[in-house]
């Protein structure tokens, strides 16, 4: 039954015992995952989980911007890079502790987000995407040319230390990353249910009407950019420690497009969609890199490649598979994974009939 008895239930997360139960189950599952992975699978999966956690944070931020506020961005790798570089520079060169560096780096990224949001007030759709694309490309170019940031050589991430804790393994980092990812998800979910989030959605659906209802477009559009950039910067700071070493080439245009693809494939304008998109695409990306080791498919591709392709053909073949999966999802469910989820829920609601 979904009868509501008081107004708070409209915005509450835990509206029924089942949701509390599943949430606890999820937290327990996340807490136990490294042990299970360590014992029964490979520790590699903890690394995958870390990448997923980082991408969830970015996707959540990008979803606030693209899915909720309706402002497209193809430059999120730029914010990601700013976060990653700033965190390492603050720690290694200025000697600040990790938590402070991470927060400062994310704030710096938010500042750039705010600045990018200013031209965005006058731009829309394809024009905005090109402007943000330009930003993303510029950031890596500038970073690559500054000697202080390591230039083309890149930077090594220092040891990740929080107080007495030395997080030097994937498993120990896992808890930090997942904790932040869960908090970010809750934050985003609460945000879109309250005043600021409603203003974002209003701007997306009908900006003139939103303005005449008292929403300050300048404030909320730049705020959306800033929040989105903050989360991307935060994720970038964490990602630097997954890699242990960063160089400008990592934060290329393809990365920006991957972030956008996560949000779109997952389902624009839905928290669940951003999570699902980040999980699926990160996993696919990491798995398909070793596509030739995948049973059956790998062998088949090798044969195909030998008989049909040039010698270099097989090396980038994962993008073909990757692309086809995305095309199929968008073809059959324009709402992305979130749309599939909605259909599944509907189906099971009336299941025996």
Partner 1 sequence: MVPASGRKNQDIGKARGRRVAPASKGWCMAFFRVEDLSMWFGGLAALEGVGFEIEKGSIFSVIGPNGAGKTTLFNCINGIYKPSGGSIRFKDQELVGKKPDKVARMGIARTFQNIELFTHMSLMENLMLGRHVFMKTGLFRGGFMWGRRSYAGREEQIHRKKVEEIIDLLELQGVRDYPVGMLPYGTQKLVELGRALALEPELLLLDEPCAGMNSEEKQDMIFWIKDIQDELGVTILLIEHDMAMVMDISDRILVINFGRPITEGTPAQVQIHPEVLTAYLGEEESDECAA
Kindly state the tokens that stand for 294: 């995948």
Site string for partner 1, 245-284 (x = CB under 8 A): ------------------------x---------------
Q: How long, in residues, is the chain?
A: 353
Distance of CA 213 to the CA centre of its chain: 32
Site string for partner 1, 219-238 (x = CB under 8 A): ----x---x-----------
Residue 56 · residue 278 · CB < 8 Å: yes
Site string for partner 1, 160-199 (x = CB under 8 A): ---------------------------xx-xx-xxxxxxx
Please choose, out of 2-10, 25-33, 272-280, 321-329, the segment that lies near partner 1 by the rule CB under 8 A: 2-10
Give the three-class secondary structure for 276.
helix
Nearer to partner 1, 227 or 238 (CB): 227
Distance of CA 276 to the CA centre of its chain: 10
Question: Total residues at the site for partner 1 (CB under 8 A)?
Answer: 35
Q: In whole angstroms, give the CA distance from residue 322 to residue 120.
A: 31
Distance of CA 160 to the CA centre of its chain: 22
Q: In whole angstroms, give the CA distance from residue 197 to residue 200.
A: 5
Among positions 111, 123, 182, 201, the unique one binding partner 1 when judged by CB under 8 A: 201
CB of 54 to partner 1, least distance (A): 20
CB of 214 to partner 1, least distance (A): 4
Q: Tell me how many helices (H) and strands (E) the chain has.
A: 14, 4
Q: Residues interacting with partner 1, by CB under 8 A?
A: 6-8, 10-12, 187-188, 190-191, 193-199, 201-202, 204-206, 208-217, 223, 227, 269
């Amino acid at each position: 039954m979904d009868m509501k008895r008081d107004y708070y239930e409209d915005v509450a997360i835990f509206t029924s015992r089942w949701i509390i139960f599943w949430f606890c189950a999820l937290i327990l599952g996340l807490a136990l995952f490294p042990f299970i992975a360590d014992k029964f699978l490979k520790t590699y999966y903890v690394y995958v989980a870390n990448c997923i956690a980082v991408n969830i944070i970015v996707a959540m931020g990008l979803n606030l911007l693209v899915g909720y506020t309706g402002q497209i961005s193809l430059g999120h790798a730029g914010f990601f890079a700013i976060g990653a570089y700033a965190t390492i520079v603050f720690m290694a060169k200025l000697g600040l502790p990790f938590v402070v560096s991470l927060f400062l780096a994310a704030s710096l990224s938010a500042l750039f987000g705010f600045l990018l949001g200013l031209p965005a007030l006058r731009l829309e759709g394809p024009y905005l995407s090109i402007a943000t694309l330009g930003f993303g490309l510029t950031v890596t170019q500038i970073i690559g040319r500054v000697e202080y940031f390591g230039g083309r050589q890149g930077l090594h991430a220092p040891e990740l230390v929080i107080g007495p804790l030395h997080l030097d393994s994937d498993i120990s980092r896992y808890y930090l990353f997942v904790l932040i990812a869960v908090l970010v998800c809750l934050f985003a979910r609460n945000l879109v249910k309250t005043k600021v989030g409603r203003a974002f959605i209003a701007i997306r659906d009908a900006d003139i009407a939103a303005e005449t209802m008292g929403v300050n477009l300048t404030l909320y559009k730049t705020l959306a950019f800033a929040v989105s950039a903050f989360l991307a910067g935060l994720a970038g700071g964490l990602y630097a420690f997954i890699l242990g070493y960063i160089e400008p080439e990592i934060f290329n245009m393809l990365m920006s497009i991957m972030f956008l693809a996560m949000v779109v494939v997952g389902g624009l304008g839905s928290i669940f969609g951003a999570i699902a998109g980040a999980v699926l695409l990160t996993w696919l990306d990491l798995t398909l890199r070793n596509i030739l080791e995948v049973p059956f498919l790998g062998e088949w591709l090798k044969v195909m490649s030998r008989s049909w392709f040039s010698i270099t053909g097989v090396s980038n073949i994962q993008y073909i598979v990757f692309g086809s999966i995305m095309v199929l999802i968008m073809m059959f469910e324009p709402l992305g994974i979130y749309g599939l989820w909605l259909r599944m829920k509907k189906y099971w609601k009336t299941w025996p009939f």
